[in-house]
Amino acid sequence: IVVDRYITELRQKRKDCEFGQNVDDMMGVKLVFSITDSRLKERLLRDKDLTLNKAIEICRSAEAAKTQIQAMQLNPVVQDASVDTLKKTPHNLRPGQ
């Protein structure tokens, strides 16, 4: 997953930074602003209580959904539009009449 690779790179680079205790906050900000999908970015920015872990989970879900949508578009499910109907016989007629 792309977001996992990105977070791994950020965690490796954070060793060189001096963010102190705000490392996760800074990584979360970096993650949000690196996102190119405007709808996903807006969703993350609307969350007042966004944490790095929550942002990662939301991004993972968005990536998984996008992958599933692409797979469905490549292999659309053909739905059978035919409907079986029951043969109706009048109630007052009995077999053999």
pLDDT of residue 54: 96
What is the value of pTM for the model shown? 0.68
Copy the structure tokens of residue 56.
């990662």
Measured torsion, CA atoms of residues 43, 44, 50, 54, in degrees rounded to the nearest 10 = 90
Distance CA 28, CA 49 (A): 12
pLDDT of residue 40: 96
Read off the pLDDT of residues 31-80 as tens digits, 9 standing for 90 and up: 999 999 999 999 999 999 999 999 999 999 999 999 999 988 888 765 55
